[in-house]
Amino acid sequence: MSRTLVLVRHGQSEWNLKNLFTGWRDVDLTEQGHAEAKAAGQKLKARGVKFDIAFTSALIRAQKTCQHILDAVGQSDLKTIRDQALNERDYGDLSGLNKDDARKKWGEEQVHVWRRSYDVSPPAGESLKDTGARVWPYYLHDLQPHVLRGGTVLVAAHGNSLRALIMALDGKSGEEIVKLELGTGVPVIYELNADSTVASKEVLDD
């Protein structure tokens, strides 16, 4: 029985390109981002992947990535659940700011701590730990049951919401997970055992 979970970070967004903190701001994909999402779909099509259900966030950059992938594998009308539980980490007062401007305002060291620590949150925002506190219960309650029934599930989401999932799936520490770089539009394929542990993991980053 196949128990497959496919994680994909959205393609490049307009604010990724402009070096802005995005968080929960609803920003579209760039041309490159659309191309990355379509390429992810083609990689999965080449593997013969067919999904039983798809999950994405409440944000358009993830939703469009999800749709490009489903279009590529010939499943444009597949049932897709959109939920803010899968949204990017909320950067609070940093949202919409240029990262260089934020460093000038708060200092390079402080901004680095906010970006790359596990449990320190920016003003009015979330830490990665906070993000995991909403993502992981949602995974356990809503996503995992589909996988354990033998399904193939697509999750198109964001760098930090996916880091939170990968941290739990891979058994990584907070210190380890903040160092993980997730490429835009790169599929990560997990096969799970019947007891929900990871049987295998493959990153299609060629």
User: Over the stretch 135-150, which tens digit does the pLDDT of each residue have?
Assistant: 999 999 999 999 999 9
Q: State the pLDDT confidence band at 206, using cuts at 50, 70 and 90.
A: confident
Structural domain tally of the chain?
1
Residues 78-112 as b or e (16 or more Cβ within 10 Å = b): bebeeeebbbbbbbbebbebeeeebeeebeeeebe
Beta strand segments in the chain, E:
4-9, 53-56, 80-82, 152-157, 187-192, 198-203
Binding residues for substrate: 9-16, 22-23, 61, 88-91, 99, 115-116, 159-160
For residue 81, what pLDDT is reported? 99
User: Over the stretch 151-187, which tens digit does the pLDDT of each residue have?
Assistant: 999 999 999 999 999 999 999 999 999 999 999 999 9
Token reading at 2: 């196949």
Q: What is the mean pLDDT of residues 116-129?
A: 97
Look up the pTM and report it. 0.96
- CA within 13 Å, CB half, 87: 19
Please name every residue paired with 100 in a beta bridge, in sequence order, or none if there are none. none
Indicate which CATH number applies to the domain containing 65.
Answer: 3.40.50.1240
Q: How far is the C-alpha of 152 from the C-alpha of 130, rounded, in Å?
A: 27
Q: Give the active site residues.
A: 10, 88
For residue 201, what pLDDT is reported? 98
For residue 84, what pLDDT is reported? 98
Residue 100 predicted with pLDDT over 80: yes
Name the nearest CA neighbour of 44 among 13, 66, 12.
66
Binding residues: 9-16, 22-23, 61, 88-91, 99, 115-116, 159-160
Range of the domain at 167: 4-203
User: Over the stretch 38-86, which tens digit does the pLDDT of each residue have?
Assistant: 999 999 999 999 999 999 999 999 999 999 999 999 999 999 999 999 9
